[in-house]
């Protein structure tokens, strides 16, 4: 996936059509300090413009794999375009998320609005509630977000009301997450949405090409190149194929 190309295309579209949006997901967590591979681009978008967003994605050649009031998932036959996912926000949640987003220099041409650490942590709490296995990596995302200077840790905890062990990146032995007040109500996730996301994620694996695309982009990313950006070391282990 050519991240610059995809991000620039959608950022220009949102600006041209005056659609409220914020970057979320793995790229947003990266913008706040955690470098980890991701194979797609995720956006939170004003729910009142969802059909326009889906139509634009399809005009670029993206196939819609799933669409509802809460989410839509799109994949392109050309690996350079990869996959884009949208979360549709409404009501007080939309106003709060878009107002709190911070511009980050993920693109050389212009900064992109990135959801706040608090809102990203709430989204991660929702994800871990519906998909407990995601605590293996989403928990580390939340740990990074809660270390951002000035983050309102109390707001994250009291709003989500989720008994999740953020520090160890795993849910507590008996995780219990109550509805996330207006945040969860405004996203309108249905049981059908959860089932669909589980089905899509069960087939979502990062190919070697996608991983190398990510590594190539991260070495040119202006955020990762900052001297004060926390860098996590990683190793790429090449395992030889088994002999027949």
Q: List b or e across 213-243, with b for residues whose CB sees 16 or more CB atoms inside 10 angstroms.
A: bbeebbeebebbeeeeeeeeeeeeeeeeeee
60: CATH: 3.30.460.40
For the ranges 97-106, 182-191, 222-231, which has the lowest average pLDDT? 222-231
Work out the average pLDDT over 134-147. Answer: 77
Question: How big, in percent rounded to 5, are the helix, strand and coil portions of the chain?
Answer: 45, 15, 35
- Residue 216 within any structural domain of the chain: no
| Domain encompassing residue 95 | 3-208
Number of residues in the chain = 244
* Residues in contact with 181: Cβ distance below 8 Å, sequence separation at least 6, in sequence order: 159
pTM (two decimals): 0.72
41 within some domain: yes
| Predicted local confidence at residue 14, as pLDDT | 97
- Residue at 92 is within a domain: yes
Half-sphere exposure of 78 (CA within 13 A, CB side): 9
pLDDT score recorded for residue 112: 92
> Is 201 contained in some domain?
yes
Q: Of 68 and 220, which is predicted with more confidence?
A: 68
Is residue 12 a part of any domain in this protein?
Answer: yes
DSSP 30-47: HHTT-----SEEEEEEEG
Please give the tally of structural domains in the chain: 1
Residue 240 lies in a domain: no
Higher local confidence (pLDDT), 205 or 81:
81
Q: What is the pLDDT of residues 145-182, one digit of tens each?
A: 888 888 887 766 644 444 333 333 333 333 333 334 55
In a domain, 226, yes or no: no
């Amino acid at each position: 996936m050519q991240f610059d190309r995809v991000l620039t295309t959608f950022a220009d579209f949102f600006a041209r059509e005056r659609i409220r949006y914020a970057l979320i997901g793995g790229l947003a967590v990266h913008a706040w300090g955690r470098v980890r591979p991701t194979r797609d681009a995720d956006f939170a978008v004003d729910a009142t413009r969802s059909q326009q967003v889906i139509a634009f994605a399809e005009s670029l050649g993206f196939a819609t794999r799933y669409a509802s009031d809460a989410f839509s998932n799109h994949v392109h036959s050309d690996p350079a375009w990869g996959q884009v996912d949208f979360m549709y926000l409404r009501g007080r949640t939309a106003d709060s998320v878009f107002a709190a987003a911070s511009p980050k220099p993920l693109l050389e041409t212009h900064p992109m609005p990135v959801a706040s650490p608090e809102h990203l942590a709430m989204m991660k709490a929702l994800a871990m509630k519906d998909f407990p296995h995601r605590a293996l990596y989403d928990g580390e995302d939340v740990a990074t977000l809660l270390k951002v200077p000035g983050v309102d840790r109390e707001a994250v905890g009291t709003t989500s009301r989720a008994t999740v062990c953020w520090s160890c990146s795993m849910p507590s032995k008996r995780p219990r997450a109550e509805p996330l007040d207006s945040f969860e109500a405004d996203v309108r996730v249905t049981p059908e949405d959860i089932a669909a996301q589980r089905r899509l994620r069960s087939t979502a694996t990062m190919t070697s090409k996608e991983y190398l695309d990510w590594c190539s982009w991260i070495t040119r990313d202006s955020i990762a190149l900052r001297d004060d950006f926390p860098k996590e070391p990683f190793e790429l282990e090449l395992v030889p194929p088994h002999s027949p």
